[in-house]
Structure 1
Amino acid sequence: MPIGGINWQALTQQQWRAEQLEHNLHRLKLAAPLAPPVNLLHIWMFWGRPVQSDNEALWLQGIILAHVGMLLFFTLLALAAWWLEPRPHWQRVRQACVSIGILGTLGFAALISSIDQLVTSNITPLLVGCTLVALVFLHRPLSALLLFAGTLGLFIWGIGQTQNDPALLLSNRVNGLSICAIALALAWSQWRHFAKIQSQQQRLESQQQLLEQQNARLSYLAEHDPLTGLLNRRAFGEIVNHELLRAERNGQPLCLLMLDLDHFKQINDHYGHPVGDSVIRQTASLLASQVRASDSLARIGGEEFVLLLPECDLQQGRQIAELLRQRVEQQLRRVDGLELGLTVSIGLAAIPAGHFCSYASLYAASDRALYQAKHKGRNRVEYQAPA
């Protein structure tokens, strides 16, 4: 169940694994180079120090060897993190590098604290190591529990080998338990903060994606007819104006066809609007399948369609218009199992190469031609020159 806005059960699963790894590897790349100078300083401070007992000599030797080991370990770790960060495809190696860095840090912290018991009851290295690991790296709740529990177990065993005073041994073990518990709490707090940020990021990304989809849908609806998916009147007008300017600039011909289904009102009245809508959709699909990629087809209302034919002269325009008329007559005789015998009347207007007229004049000419086709009996192609 969600606690404090976070689903803790979900957090133990694999979500955000990539983000966690990127965070940890980047932090390792920044933190690992800081350790070798500290190790060198410790080695310099302890090197050649006079000793007064066998225990102190053993302690001094252990501290120096531990810091030499840490110096080599963190140097190699820093180089590995630097090399792996720009290589996301090395997923397992990157994860192994981070895990080795975390385990090594905690292991050295427990080791040095255990060595210190030879001459002192100090367990500061364990405190520093656990705190750094908890704050620098991200740990899933269960992983953090296992990690610090293992560190506590290693520490309890280690100081049992070096601390001979029963009271100090008990005190340090209790203090070690407190340190690991505090580190666990810090790790859980870090993960909870990270989880909240990731959840918010996901919600924002989801909302952004939804907004983009809605904007794309609105943009599409603003330019397309919802029934057929063809361009609408406004979008078609913008394309025609652009093509008219291009035709004038390049000295190319251009044709405009206006197509109107014959006796469409009778279909709606006799068979109902659902059949009428099906007729419109199938007509649009048929026309779209016959035009070139450079052509523009639109539904401008009811059963009326317009087709712009760039780089097309009058003769070619007539041929295309006649082909479309025949296709409608032949392929749309039956629609949804009904014998409708659809036909289409087409008005054609053309601009010869080297000439120019406005869209309004071209549209008016094709409209007059369509009226003429209707007046002469329908199911035919007629031409009118723009004024």
Structure 2
Amino acid sequence: MRVASDQSLLTRRRTVEASALVSRGLGWLSTVVYLVQLKAAGPVPAALERSLWAGIVAMAAANLLAFAGWRRPGSRWYSAQSAGQVALDSAVIAGLVAFSDGYTGQVTWPIMAVPVVVAAIRHRLGGALTVWAFTSIWFGLVVAISPGPAQPRDAVFSALINLLIALVTGTQATAFARQLATLQQVRSELQHQATHDPLTGLPNRARLAERAAACTGRLGVLLLDLNGFKQVNDTYGHASGDELLHQVALRLSAIIGSGDLVGRLGGDEFLVLLPDADPERAARVADRIREVIRRPIQIGDGREVTVGVSVGLAVRPADGTAALDTLTAEADAAMYREKHTRRAA
């Protein structure tokens, strides 16, 4: 259920990573072409060549992280990979601004808004403000140290403009993330309501059918019907009957194996799926259920009732193809045979 509810988030992450791969790939290619042209024109200053190679390597590393995030957007490492990309992009942009100011005399500080926006998309307001602080401090150092054309007023103006960008994009990204989380929660709740019984919280008929359809090979099916449930309802009222069903559901859930599934079909009927169970194991589980259910049950206000359970068993062999409906019908017939045998006794 969680995978379905998170699908929109995974799609968004893949879109972000695909965009990063394309845009950063173009930047990487442009830098490589620029370096080749410089080398073809003549000797390249060592410091400039090292800077260009550093940018090429950083962008390539960032794209490797983007590719990993695109392939596995649900990985537990996704946030760390995303933060790594933001750090590398910020470093490349910072280096480009320093290079442009010191070597070419061109004004390129407006591009420092790019990593701020990217950080907002990836890490919301906190990420945007972190990158804004880094780029603002960096550009302030560049202005103080570099003999380029940038002036202190440029550093102040850049910091103010990028702060505004960080606040706008960061708050919008944060609001969108909250909205997405709310939608995922609502979707998860609706999915749970559609596949679970509201009274007991157990899987309903639809969820049982879905799980059974996913099982291949051997499958054990136990159909349960409470003995004495109607008397409890008639004597103590429907609220007490509902409490009885709830307590029975808790007991069944406590004794069912981790790979098994118990659900409520309706009324006082329950169904247990035992994947890969042979007849002997299914019979042992049935006996355990009878033992647990016949113990006295508290139904509120100090009242204690005792009910029994009739269990019908059907097992599909390893090479069988019977569907859940067929197995349930077999278990239903076996359950009524047990119920009538008990009455006759």
Question: What corresponds to 1:360 in structure 2?
Answer: 325
Distance 1:191 1:98 in 2: 9
Distance 2:145 2:283 in 1: 87
User: Once the 2 structures are TM-superposed, how far is the Cα of residue 234 of structure 1 from its aligned partner?
Assistant: 0.9
User: What's the secondary structure of 1:267's corresponding residue?
Assistant: helix
Question: For 1:332-351, what aligned pairs fall within 5 Å after superposition?
Answer: 332-336=296-300, 337-351=302-316
Task: Note the C-alpha offset of 1:223.
Answer: 1.9
Residue 265 of structure 1: aligned partner: 230
SS at match of 2:151: helix
The match for 1:204 among 171, 176, 186 is: 176
| Deviation for aligned residue 1:326 | 0.8
1:38-53 equivalent positions in 2, closer than 5 A: 38=104
1:323 aligns with 2:288: yes
Query: For residue 132 of structure 1, what is the aligned residue in structure 2?
Result: 154
> Unpaired runs of 5+ in structure 2?
1-82, 107-118, 120-128
Query: Is residue 25–residue 98 contact of structure 1 (8 Å, CA) maintained in 2?
Result: no
SS of the counterpart of 2:307? Answer: coil
1:277 to 238, 242, 245: 242
| Post-superposition CA distance 1:124-160 (Å, at most 9, x none) | x7xx51453244x43xxxxxxxxxxxxxxxxxxxxxx
Find the counterpart in structure 1 of residue 98 from structure 2: 32
8 Å contact kept, 2:136–2:155: no
State yes or no: 1:288 paired with 2:258: no
Check if 1:195 corresponds to 2:183.
no
1:236 counterpart SS class: helix
| Counterpart check, 1:373 vs 2:338 | yes
Aligned-partner Cα distance in 2 for 1:313–1:108: 79
Look up the match of 1:105: 143
For residues 365 and 270 of structure 1, the distance between their equivalents in structure 2, rounded to whole angstroms, comes to 33
Kindly tell me: are residues 134 and 241 of structure 1, through their superposed partners in 2, closer, same or farther at Cα, counting changes over 3 Å? same
Which of these residues, 232, 239, 251, is aligned with residue 211 of structure 2?
239
**Is the 2:205–2:264 contact (alpha carbons within 8 Å) kept by the matching residues of 1?**
yes
**286-295 or 267-276, larger mean C-alpha shift:** 267-276
Amino acid corresponding to residue 202 of structure 1 in structure 2 = T
TM superposition score normalised by structure 1: 0.53
Deviates more, 1:350-359 or 1:321-330: 350-359
Classify 1:256/1:107 alpha carbon distance in 2 versus 1 (closer, same or farther; 3 Å).
closer
Change (3 A) 1:190 1:295: closer
Shift of the 293–108 alpha-carbon distance from structure 1 to 2, 3 Å rule, reads closer
Match of 1:59 in 2: none
Equivalent residues of 2:90, 2:135 under 8 A apart: no
1:341 shift after superposition: 0.9
Q: How far off is 1:217 after superposition?
A: 1.7
- Contact preservation (8 Å) 2:196, 2:207: yes
- TM-score normalised to structure 2 length: 0.59
Percent identity between the two aligned chains: 29
RMSD: 4.0
| Corresponding residue for residue 74 of structure 1 | none
Structure with the greater alpha carbon radius of gyration: 1
State how many pairs are aligned: 242
Shift of 1:258: 0.6
Contact persistence 1:105–1:129 (CA under 8 A)? yes
